[in-house]
C-alpha cells in the first residue's frame, strides 16, 4: 500500500475520532444532534477542518484548457512534389528517403525520345539564329556599299528577330522540362525547393508518364498540427491561441494559425491548424501528439484542482465550504489536464475542499447509511 493510499484510508478514521472528541467536549443534549441534517451536508467546525487536514482552495476563473489528440503534418506551404514534365525511363536517382537536397539540385535523370526532340529543337533554333545573324551582317555591309536595297536589309533584320524568338522559345521548353543530363536524349529533374526527401515513388529503370510524381521534398523546419474542434470549442479558439504539444517526455509550444469558418462536411467538426517551429527536426510528420490549447472559459467555466472533485451519489461533485461545514454541489467537468480540471456549475467565488475532500465523501456516505438504518 502506498503512502498516499494509507493517508486516504486513515482520513475517515481520523475525522471520526476528531468528531467524537469534539462531541465529548461539547456536552451535547440527550437527543442525537443534527440527526435530520440537510442532504449532502457535512457539519464541521473550523477546528475540526484544521484537525483533519482538509485544504481549502478557490476556483480560478477566465482560463481553461482543451486537450485534443492531433497529428504532426508537413507544412503544405513548404512541401513540393518533384515530377518530370516529359515521360521516359528513369536512368538515375540521385537521392534517397531522408536525404537533404538543395534547391535546383538534380535529383533524377529521365531518358526519353521527347527529351531528344527538345534538345534537337534547341540546337536547330541556335543554328537558324546563327545563320540569320550572319545574313544580317552581310546585308548591312552590302547596304553600306549601296549594292543591296534597303528592303533586303529590313528582311534580314526581321529574319534575325524571328530566329532569336524561336531560340528563346526552344530554350524555355527545355527549361520547363528540366536541365541537361549530359546527353542529347536525357533531361535532368531538379528539386524546386530545399529540404528533405520524404517520399520516393519510382525505382531505377522504371518508365514514367509525363508529370508523374518522382519525389516529394519537404522543408521540415516548420510543421503543422491539424486539429478538429467541436463548434462550441471553436468559439473559444482564436488565431494566435497558445498550444502545448506533448508526446511522451517531449513538449513544445505552437500557435494556432487558422480556424475554419465552416464545419467539415464529413465529421461535422471545425478544422484548425497550428504552426510549430521545428528547427531541431525532433517532430516528424505523421507522429501522433496531444495538443493542449489554452482557451478562454466558456460561460461560467472555472479551473479547480483535480483533488477537489469527488463522485457523490453517482454525480461529479465538489464540496463547498459553508458556515456549518461543507455542502456537496454537482458540477460538470469539461476538461482535465495536468491535475487541473475545468468545470461549470460554480460562480468562481466559492471556497472548496481540496486535498482531503475524499474524507468528506466518506463521512457523508457513512451518515447516509446510519440514517437509512433507522
Cell numbers representing residue 213 in the block: 510524381
Mind listing the pLDDT tens digit for each residue in 128-137?
A: 999 999 999 9
User: Would you state the torsion angle of the CA atoms of residues 163, 167, 170, 176, taken in this order, to the nearest 10 degrees?
Assistant: -140
Query: pLDDT at residue 10 above 50?
Result: no
Q: Which of 71-80, 130-139, 152-161, 232-241 has the lowest mean pLDDT?
A: 232-241
**Long-range contacts: 133-141, Cβ < 8 Å, 24+?**
133/160, 133/163, 135/159, 135/160, 136/160
CA neighbor of 76 nearest in space, from 244, 280, 275, 282: 275
Q: How confident is the model at residue 238 (pLDDT cuts 50, 70, 90)?
A: confident
CA neighbor of 59 nearest in space, from 361, 352, 356: 352
Q: What share of the chain is helix, strand, coil (3-state, %, to 5)?
A: 30, 35, 35
pLDDT of residue 178: 62
> Is the pLDDT higher at 185 or at 325?
325
> Is the pLDDT higher at 182 or at 76?
76
Mind listing the pLDDT tens digit for each residue in 21-73?
A: 544 444 444 343 343 345 678 888 888 888 888 899 988 765 567 788 999 99
CATH of domain 113-184: 1.10.287
Q: Which bin fits 150, alpha (ψ -120 to 50), beta or left (φ > 0)?
A: alpha
pLDDT of residue 368: 63
Q: What is the mean pLDDT of residues 276-284?
A: 86
CATH topology of domain 3-62+300-373: 2.40.420
Q: How confident is the model at residue 330 (pLDDT cuts 50, 70, 90)?
A: very high
CATH topology of domain 79-111+186-218: OB fold (Dihydrolipoamide Acetyltransferase, E2P) (2.40.50)
Residues of each domain in the chain carrying CATH 2.40.30.170:
66-75+220-296
Q: How confident is the model at residue 112 (pLDDT cuts 50, 70, 90)?
A: confident
Query: pLDDT at residue 183 above 70?
Result: no
pLDDT of residue 318: 93
Q: Which of 118-122, 257-261, 323-327 has the lowest mean pLDDT?
A: 118-122
Query: pLDDT at residue 372 above 70?
Result: no
Give the chain's mean pLDDT.
Answer: 82
pLDDT of residue 5: 45
Question: In the chain, what percentage of residues exceed pLDDT 90?
Answer: 32
Question: Locate cell 551582317: which residue?
Answer: 137
The answer to pTM > 0.85 is no
Q: Residue 303 and residue 65: Cα distance in Å, rounded?
A: 9
Q: Which of 259-263, 297-301, 310-314 has the lowest mean pLDDT?
A: 297-301
CA neighbor of 364 nearest in space, from 41, 56, 6, 33: 41
Q: What is the mean pLDDT of residues 357-373?
A: 74
Q: What is the mean pLDDT of residues 316-345?
A: 85
> Is the pLDDT higher at 32 or at 202?
202
pLDDT of residue 260: 93
pLDDT of residue 60: 78
Query: pLDDT at residue 301 above 50?
Result: yes
CATH number among 2.40.360.20, 2.160.10.10, 2.40.30.170, 3.90.226.10, domain 66-75+220-296: 2.40.30.170
Residues of each domain in the chain carrying CATH 2.40.420.20:
3-62+300-373
Query: pLDDT at residue 102 above 60?
Result: yes
Distance separating the N- and C-terminal Cα atoms of the chain: 35
pLDDT of residue 30: 37
Q: Residue 61 and residue 299: Cα distance in Å, rounded?
A: 10
Q: What is the mean pLDDT of residues 217-238?
A: 88
Q: Residue 129 and residue 27: Cα distance in Å, rounded?
A: 120
pLDDT of residue 62: 54
pLDDT of residue 341: 83
pLDDT of residue 138: 93
Q: How confident is the model at residue 180 (pLDDT cuts 50, 70, 90)?
A: low
Amino acid at each position: 500500500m502506498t503512502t498516499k493510499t494509507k493517508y486516504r484510508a486513515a482520513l475517515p478514521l481520523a475525522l471520526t475520532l476528531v468528531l467524537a472528541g469534539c462531541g465529548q467536549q461539547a456536552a451535547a443534549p440527550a437527543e442525537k444532534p443534527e440527526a435530520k441534517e440537510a442532504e449532502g451536508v457535512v457539519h464541521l467546525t473550523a477546528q475540526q477542518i484544521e484537525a483533519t487536514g482538509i485544504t481549502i482552495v478557490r476556483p480560478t476563473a477566465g482560463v481553461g484548457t482543451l486537450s485534443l489528440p492531433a497529428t504532426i503534418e508537413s507544412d503544405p506551404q513548404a512541401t513540393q512534389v518533384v515530377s518530370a514534365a516529359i515521360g521516359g525511363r528513369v536512368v538515375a536517382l540521385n537521392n534517397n528517403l531522408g536525404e537533404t537536397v538543395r534547391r535546383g539540385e538534380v535529383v533524377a535523370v529521365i531518358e526519353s525520345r521527347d527529351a531528344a526532340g527538345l534538345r534537337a529543337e534547341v540546337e536547330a533554333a541556335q543554328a537558324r539564329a546563327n545563320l540569320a545573324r550572319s545574313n544580317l551582317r552581310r546585308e548591312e555591309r552590302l547596304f553600306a556599299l549601296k549594292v543591296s536595297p534597303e528592303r533586303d536589309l529590313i528582311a534580314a533584320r526581321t529574319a534575325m528577330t524571328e530566329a532569336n524568338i524561336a531560340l528563346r522559345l526552344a530554350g524555355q521548353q527545355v527549361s520547363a522540362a528540366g536541365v541537361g543530363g549530359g546527353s542529347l536524349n536525357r533531361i535532368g529533374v531538379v528539386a524546386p525547393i530545399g529540404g528533405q526527401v520524404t517520399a520516393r515513388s519510382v525505382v531505377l529503370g522504371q518508365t514514367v508518364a509525363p508529370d508523374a510524381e518522382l519525389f516529394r521534398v519537404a522543408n521540415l523546419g516548420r510543421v503543422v498540427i491539424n486539429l478538429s474542434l467541436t463548434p462550441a470549442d471553436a468559439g473559444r479558439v482564436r488565431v494566435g491561441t497558445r498550444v502545448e504539444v506533448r508526446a511522451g517526455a517531449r513538449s513544445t509550444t505552437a500557435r494556432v494559425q487558422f480556424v475554419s469558418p465552416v464545419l467539415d462536411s464529413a465529421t461535422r467538426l471545425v478544422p484548425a491548424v497550428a504552426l510549430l517551429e521545428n528547427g531541431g527536426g525532433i517532430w516528424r510528420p505523421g507522429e501522433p501528439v496531444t495538443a493542449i490549447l489554452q482557451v478562454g472559459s466558456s460561460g461560467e467555466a472555472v479551473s479547480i484542482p483535480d483533488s477537489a472533485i469527488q463522485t457523490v451519489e453517482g454525480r461529479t461533485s465538489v464540496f463547498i465550504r459553508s458556515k456549518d461545514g461543507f455542502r456537496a454541489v454537482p458540477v460538470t467537468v469539461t476538461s482535465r489536464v495536468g491535475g487541473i480540471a475545468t468545470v461549470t456549475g460554480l460562480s468562481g467565488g466559492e471556497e472548496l475542499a481540496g486535498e482531503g475532500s475524499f474524507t468528506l465523501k466518506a463521512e457523508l456516505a457513512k451518515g447516509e447509511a446510519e440514517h437509512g438504518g433507522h
